[in-house]
Structures are given as C-alpha cells and as structure tokens.
Amino acid sequence: MLKKFLDSFFFYSFIRDPVAVGSFLILAILFITGFGAPVVAPHNPYDTTTIDIMDSELPPFWISGSDERFLLGTDSQGRDMLSTMLYGMRVSILIGLGAVALQALLGITIGLIAGYKGGRFEAFLMRIADVQLSFSTYMVAIFFGALFQAAFGMGLYEDFAIPMLIAIIGFAEWPQYARTVRASVLGEKKKEYVEAARVIGLPSTRIMWREILPNTLTPVLVISTVQVANAIMSEAALSFIGLGMPITRPSLGSLINVGFDYIFSGSWWITLFPGIVLVILILSINLLGDWLRDFLNPKLYKG
C-alpha cells in the first residue's frame, strides 16, 4: 500500500515541486503543533490559575525586559503568546475544517440531487443557492451572531461559539459546492456508464452516490482547499470584529483583535505574531491547493 503510493505519479510530481513540499511541511508542522497544543505548548492559556496579570505585555525574548518563561512575550492578560497562539490556531483550524465539512455535506448533497434530478426541482434548489450567495458571508454571520448573543447571552455564547461559527460559515458558503458538483454531475450523467448503471437496474440513489459522485470529486477536492483557507479567514475576520471566538478561548483572529488595542502602546507582538501565523497558514493551504489543482488538471501539463 505504502509502496504503491510512493511509486505513484501523484507522489512523483509532488516530491518534484519544492513549493508543494515546502507548504505541505509547514502545514504539517502547524497542524501537529496546533492539535498537539496541550502537549507542545509550554503554558495552558485556558487555565486561569496559572495566569498572572503581573506578567502582562512582556516582550519577546530578544527585547530587553523579556522573561525567559515567555518565548514570544505575553498578551495584555499575561498569557504566554506562543501557547495562546498554538491553542488559537487549533480553534481556527477546527472551525475551518468543520465549516468546510458542513459546506461540503450540504453543497454536495444539494448539488448532486439537483444535477441528477433536473427540471423544476433543480431550478428551485439552484435559485436558493443564488439567493444564498447574494448575501455576503459576513452579513449572515453578523446577523446570526448578534441574534444568538442577544437571545442566549454572552455566557452561553462563549460555550457554543465553535459550533455556531462552524454552522454560520458552513451555511453561508455551501452554494460554492452545490454549483461545482451540479456542473460536473450535468456532465457526468450523460455518460454511458450512468446509462449502463440504470440498465443494470441500480436504484437512483445508488447511481447518484456510488457511480456519479466519485467521478465529480476532482473539482470538489480543489475547491475544498480554497474553502478551508476561506473559512479560516472568515472566522478570523469575524473574530476581529468581535463576533467570533470570545477572548477567553481566543482564535488567531480574536488574538489579532485584542492585540490591536495595544499596538500603539508599543506591544506590537500581540497582534503581529498571530497575524504572521495566520498568513503562513492561509498561504501554505492555498499554495498546496494550487499545486493540487495543477496536478489534477491534465490540460496544464507542459508538453
């Protein structure tokens, strides 16, 4: 199995593309440290008993006045920046992946059914998608976030912030998937293997999910990478305007947000470090996605 993978053309062209390998390695490090944060991180930013307000706004190690316990300094509440960022990155990635999973689930199901059934049903579903797309993600998020905060109060909001953000970003962006899947289903369903499957007597749900869907996954894979990056950015943007993760469980975006208040008082690191991590995270996902798109598109091969 492993040998087959190492022999494959996929692996061959991957290993020959330094940008792809580089971004994959960076991404792997970010994912491992992010999800391994409880083990890797030197402090636990969620544990209020270990936080001392006297440690607040300490600079990173190369600036005088730094504390050797805090490699990249501390934020305004005395939390270790490095640990907080690792925990925050975990939240960001979790929301990104979760939102994309929800988008994909909704979008693929709707796109597949719409494309296969056709007719008025298809027109109806795709118009819903168009309507959904005409609301911007942020508008939907601001609306529902504000509504949730008003209805259930801040305490409950903090507990349910992650699933709520996943739901909001997932619902806002599913039409991307629905459109992509529908377009390829329309192309696939005219092919003879679908006709053959019907002649064999397979039920239509089986034809949709087992025969057509695997043939439409290539573009889905490509937009998924872009969508993960987009979802992480959406979350960061929402957190930045105060509608995302609460500061007690910060994501990268909310860290940038709180640090922003201190940037003119000299504590630039609270904003800059999470910002850099966010940029690297998004960039490496996008670069990897670009490589995947080029690999899967034979038209782009150089002759």
Partner 1 sequence: MDPLLDVKNLTVNFALRRASLSAVNDVSFSLKKGERMGLVGESGAGKSVTGFSLINLISKPGYIDSGSIVFEGRELIGLPDEEMRHIRGNRITMIFQDPMMTLNPVLTIGTQMVETLKAHGRFSTSKAEATAIDKLRQVQISSPEKRLKQYPHEFSGGMRQRIVIAIALLTDPAMIIADEPTTALDVTIQAEIMDLLIRLCDSSRMGLILITHDLGVVSEVTESIAVMYAGKIVESGPTQSVIHRPSHPYTMGLVRAIPGSIPPGNPLYQIPGMMPTLTNIPAGCSFHPRCKYAGNICTIEIPKLTTVTNQQGVAACHMISGRLPETEMGLLALHRRQKISSGEIMA
The footprint of partner 1 (CB under 8 A) covers 191-193, 195-203, 206, 210-211, 214-215
Distance CA 216, CA 116 (A): 12
Residue number with CB closer to partner 1 (60 or 219):
219
What radius of gyration, in Å, describes the C-alpha atoms of the chain? 23
Query: Which tokens go with 166?
Result: 């996943």
Residues 6+ apart with CB under 8 A from 151: none
Residue number with CB closer to partner 1 (108 or 166):
108
Query: Which tokens go with 135?
Result: 């609301």
Minimum Å gap between C-beta 189 and partner 1 is 11
Query: Which tokens go with 218?
Result: 């290539």
Distance CA 109, CA 115 (A): 10
Minimum Å gap between C-beta 210 and partner 1 is 6
Closest by Cα among 222, 198, 219, 220 to 210: 198
Closest by Cα among 187, 175, 191 to 216: 187
DSSP 59: P
Query: Which tokens go with 268?
Result: 């630039």
Residue number with CB closer to partner 1 (15 or 196):
196
- CB 101 within 8 Å of CB 169: no
Residue number with CB closer to partner 1 (198 or 293):
198
Residue number with CB closer to partner 1 (135 or 193):
193
Residues 6+ apart with CB under 8 A from 38: 44
Minimum Å gap between C-beta 21 and partner 1 is 27
Residue number with CB closer to partner 1 (39 or 200):
200
Minimum Å gap between C-beta 199 and partner 1 is 4
Residue number with CB closer to partner 1 (183 or 202):
202
Minimum Å gap between C-beta 115 and partner 1 is 16
**Residue 207 carries which side chain, given as an amino acid letter?**
I
Residues 6+ apart with CB under 8 A from 121: 113, 114
Residue number with CB closer to partner 1 (27 or 194):
194
Minimum Å gap between C-beta 12 and partner 1 is 18
Q: How far apart are the first and last CA of the chain?
A: 30
Minimum Å gap between C-beta 188 and partner 1 is 10
Closest by Cα among 243, 124, 126, 111 to 177: 111
**Biggest alpha carbon–alpha carbon distance for the chain:** 77
Minimum Å gap between C-beta 296 and partner 1 is 13
